[in-house]
Chains A and B, each alone.
Chain A
Amino acid sequence: MKKLMTGNEAFAYGAYLSGVRVGAAYPGTPSTEIMDNFSRYPGVFAEWSPNEKVALDVAIGSAYAGTRALACMKHVGLNVAADSLFYAVYTGLKGGLVIVCADDPGMHSSQNEQDNRNYARFAKLPMLEPSDSEEAKQYVGIALEMSEMFDTPVLVRTVTRLSHSSTPVEMSDEGPPQPPEEPSFYERNPQKFVMVPANARHRHPVIEEKILKLGKYSDQTPINRIEPGDDNIGIIAAGATYQYAREVFPNATFLKLGMVYPLPDELIREFASRVKTVVIIEELDPFFEEHIRLMGIEVKGKDVFPLIGEFSPALIRKCCVDAGLIEASVAPEAAAASSAAAAALPIRPPILCPGCGHRGLFTVLREAGVLVLGDIGCYTLGYAPPLSAMHTTGCMGASIGVAHGIAKAGVKDQIVSVLGDSTFFHSGIHPLINVLYNESDVTTIITDNSVTAMTGHQQHPGTGITLQGKTTKKTDIETLVRSIGYDKLDVVDPYDMDKLADVLQDHLKSGKPSVIIAKRACVLHTKERKTPPVIDTEECTNCGTCLDLGCSPLVQEEDYVTIDPINCNGCGLCVQVCPAEAIKQEA
C-alpha cells in the first residue's frame, strides 16, 4: 500500500522501521517535523533538546551505548552541533548514528543558504541525499547500516523542497519492527572514546583510510547509478534537484547520486566516457563540479546554473534554453510579459499574527527609539515595517552578546537585546551570564510566549512538557535569571503597553544590567480568541495610528479603517493606541 508522506514524515517512518530507539533534535524549519513524527511511533524515545549540540551529543551517547540513534536539525543547526560532529567522526560509535540535516536553498525560513554537503568533506564522514519521500524512508536504513559497517556517523541531507513535499511511500506490511534490544551495560573502551591528543592521533589515520574505503563503497552502492537514456546529454544530479532535472530531461542519460560524499570516482569516469556532454545540475555550491573537474573531466555546471537560490524545473529549463542545451517550450516574451504584470502587484511579506504579544513589545520599543539587537524567532518580524524595531539579527542566541559588544564599543544609544524563550534556552544563557561577569548595562528582554512558536509550537524546558507529552520538571526563566545574579528583573504582559513602556524606561535609566520578561502565551498555540473590537467609522479620524501596529485585520478603507472579524484575534492593542477612542471592544 502507498501513502502520501512529506519527506520529513518519511524520514521518521524510515527511522522507526530501521529500529532507531533514541531520537533528539532542536526544532528548525524545514527539519522540525522529522522528530515530531518520530516521537509518535511506539517504543521509541524522542526529545526536544535545548539546542542542536545537545541533541547530537544525546544521539552520540545512545549510539556509543549500542543503540541506533537519530539526530535532526536544520542546516545552521549543524553549525551549533559541529563540535560534536567532528569528535563523533573520530571516535566512531557502536550503534548506528544518522544525522538528518535540512538545507534551505532559497532561504524560505533561514538566515543563510549554506550548503551542508561541505560538512561531509570537512568533517570526513559519508553523506546521502534522497530525492523523494520513498528514498527518504529507505536512505535512513541504508545510512544506519553504513554507519555500523564503517563505524562512523552518517549525514543524510534534505532540502526544504524534499522535507515539505508529499510523494507516495510504500508502507511496510511486515507489522511493527522488532523492538531493538536494550543494551545491558556500557562497553568501556577509553582508548577509542576519550579524545585526548594521544588517542586522537591514532584515530586520524583511521578516518582517512575510512574515507578511501567509503569512496570504493560509493562506486558499488546501487543508490549511485547510471540511468541509461539518450547519451547526447548526460546529467549528474542528486536529491530534489534530480527530480527537477528529470522533469526537464525525461529521456537523457543520468548519473543519479544517492551518496553525495565521498563521490564514486570510477562510476563518474564510466559515465563521462559514455555521454557526449556532461551537465552537472546542483543547487548552491559547485560541490560535485569541483571534484569532477579536478578529475580532469570537462563539464557544464555553474557556467549554466546559478550558485544562488532554490532550483525548480522552470529555472533549470530556462538556464538550459539560454545555454542552448534545449529548445524553448513556452514563448519567452509571453511568459515575461505576464510575469512583469504580476510582479507589479503589492507584495505580502510575512508579519506577526493577529493577537501576537510581540506586537505590543515592538510597538513600545519603536516608540522608545532604542537600539534593538535581535535574535531568531517569530519576533524577528519586529524588524519589518511598520514595527521597524530591530537593528541586528544574526543567528540563534546572538542578540545578547552583540548588545554587550556594542555597549563596550562605547556608543551612546540606549541598548536592549531581544530574544524568545526557546532561543533563550537554546543559547541565551551564556551571553546573559557574560553581561554580568564582564559588566555592561544591557537590558535583555526575553519575549516569552511559552512555546517554540515559529517552527509550529514545540515544547521546550520552560514549558514543563516533553516532546512525547510527559509532564516534567519545568525550568522557570525568572528563577533561573535571578539565580545567575540579576537583581533587576520584571515580568510584564506585552499587551499592557503603558506598563511595559514604564518598566522599560525604569530599566534603561537604572544603568544596571537587567532583564525584562515580556510574557504572553502564543495565541495560536493556546487558541485563545476574544471578541473582535469594532471601529466606529463616524469617530475614526483616519489618522493611521492603529495601522502602525502592522496587524492584518486592520484594513484601510477610503475614509476610515475597519477590522476584518474573520482574521481578528481580539487582543485589543488597537483599542489601546487609537487616539480618537474610535475602536471599541466589549468587555
Chain B
Amino acid sequence: MKKIDFLMAGVGGQGTILASNILAEVGLELGYDVKKAEVHGMAQRGGTVESHVRWGEKVYAPMAELGDVDYLIGFEMLEAGRWPAWLRKDAVVVVNRYRIPPPTVNLGKAKYPKEEEIDSLLKNAASKVLWVNGTDAAKEVGNPATIGVVLLGALSTLLGGDENVWLSVVERMVPPKFLEMNKNAFYAGRKLA
C-alpha cells in the first residue's frame, strides 16, 4: 500500500476543513491508516488555512514532510503558490482559479501574483498542474460554498478508483438537505479533471 500525502490550502471560510475531513474518511474507507492535521490561525474568516491528510500503511505524524506531498489542492490561487517546497517531483497540483486578495494587497503594500507566476512556481516543483474554474462550477450547482466537494470530485478523477466510496462518505458527512447539491458538486468536479 503506497502512501499518499495530500495538502489542502485555502482561506478561512472556504470549506477547506470539511473537504479534508471527507478526504480523511475516504482514506479510512479504502483501508489506509489515516491521520489529518490542520492549521487555522485565530481568524475564523480570511486567514490562511492548511490541512494535511495522510494515507498510508502506517502513518506516524499527522503532517507531511517537505518535498514529500503527493497532491496539493489549492482552494485559492495565492494559497496554492505557497507550497512548492513541500511537493514531490511527481506531485500533482489542482488549483482553483479564484483569488481572494489579502489585506496587504488591498492596501497597496504587496502585489497579488499573476496566474502565470503561480503556475511557474508550481510547475517547477510538480509534474502536473491542473487549473480548474471550481468556484464557477460550485456556483452553477447552486452554492459557491460547495467548492470543497467540487475539488474533491476533481481529485477523485485524478486518483482513479471507485467514485462510490467518495459519494458514500459525502452522504455521511453532509447535512441531508444539502446532499443533492453536494453530489452535483462532486460530479461537476469529476468532469474538471
A386 within 8 A of B: yes
The answer on a CB contact under 8 Å between A350 and B106 is no
A371-384 vs B: 1/0 string, CB under 8 Å? Answer: 00000001011001
A296 to chain B, nearest CB (A): 31
A543-572 vs B: 1/0 string, CB under 8 Å? Answer: 010010010101110000000101100000
Which A residues lie within 8 Å of B41 (CB)? 108-109, 349-350
A51 within 8 A of B: no
Report the bound CA distance from A246 to B35 in whole Å. Answer: 14
Q: Which of B38, B66, B103 contacts A351 (CB 8 A)?
A: B103
Which A residues lie within 8 Å of B112 (CB)? 346
The answer on a CB contact under 8 Å between A338 and B110 is no
Q: Which of B57-65, B148-156, B157-165, B178-186 is the contact stretch?
A: B57-65
Give the bracket for the number of chain B residues in contact with chain A: 35 or more
B1-40 vs A: 1/0 string, CB under 8 Å? Answer: 0000000000111000000010011001000011111111
In the complex, which residue of chain A has the Cβ closest to the Cβ of B67?
A330
Q: Which of B25, B38, B63, B107 contacts A547 (CB 8 A)?
A: B107
A4 to chain B, nearest CB (A): 6
The answer on a CB contact under 8 Å between A566 and B67 is no
Given A167-B35, A349-B102, A353-B44, also A556-B108 (CB < 8 A): yes
The answer on a CB contact under 8 Å between B60 and A247 is yes
Given A246-B60, A341-B121, A552-B100, also A346-B111 (CB < 8 A): yes
In the complex, which residue of chain B has the Cβ closest to the Cβ of A453?
B44
Given A353-B44, A555-B106, also A566-B101 (CB < 8 A): no
Given A341-B84, A348-B11, also A165-B35 (CB < 8 A): yes
The answer on a CB contact under 8 Å between A345 and B67 is no
Which B residues lie within 8 Å of A385 (CB)? 103, 107
B58 to chain A, nearest CB (A): 9
Task: Identify which of residues 309-341 in chain A touch chain B, using a CB-to-CB cut-off of 8 Å.
Answer: 312-314, 317, 329-330, 334-336, 338-339, 341
A587 within 8 A of B: no
A244 within 8 A of B: yes
A2 to chain B, nearest CB (A): 7
A164 within 8 A of B: yes
The answer on a CB contact under 8 Å between A166 and B21 is yes
Report the bound CA distance from A554 to B108 in whole Å. Answer: 13
Given A166-B36, A335-B66, A342-B83, also A349-B107 (CB < 8 A): no
A161 within 8 A of B: yes
Which A residues lie within 8 Å of B105 (CB)? 346, 556
B142 within 8 A of A: no
Give the bracket for the number of chain A residues in contact with chain B: 35 or more
The answer on a CB contact under 8 Å between A350 and B62 is no
Task: Identify which of residues 63-103 in chain B touch chain A, using a CB-to-CB cut-off of 8 Å.
Answer: 63, 65-68, 78-79, 81-85, 100-103
The answer on a CB contact under 8 Å between A313 and B63 is yes
Report the bound CA distance from A223 to B28 in whole Å. Answer: 27
Which A residues lie within 8 Å of B100 (CB)? 552, 564, 567
The answer on a CB contact under 8 Å between B61 and A243 is yes
Most interface-central of B48, B60, B105, B135 (chain A CB within 10 A)? B60
B10 to chain A, nearest CB (A): 10
B34 to chain A, nearest CB (A): 6
Report the bound CA distance from A554 to B46 in whole Å. Answer: 12
The answer on a CB contact under 8 Å between A524 and B45 is yes
The answer on a CB contact under 8 Å between A454 and B42 is yes
Which B residues lie within 8 Å of A386 (CB)? 103, 107
In the complex, which residue of chain A has the Cβ closest to the Cβ of B112?
A346
Report the bound CA distance from A2 to B12 in whole Å. Answer: 29
The chain A residues found within 8 Å of chain B, CB to CB, are 2, 4, 29, 108-109, 132, 161, 164-168, 240, 243-244, 246-247, 250, 312-314, 317, 329-330, 334-336, 338-339, 341-342, 345-354, 378, 380-381, 384-386, 453-454, 456, 524, 544, 547, 550, 552, 554-556, 564, 566-567
Given A4-B34, A243-B60, A552-B100, 8 extra CB contacts under 8 A: A313-B63, A336-B85, A346-B110, A348-B47, A352-B46, A353-B43, A550-B103, A556-B101
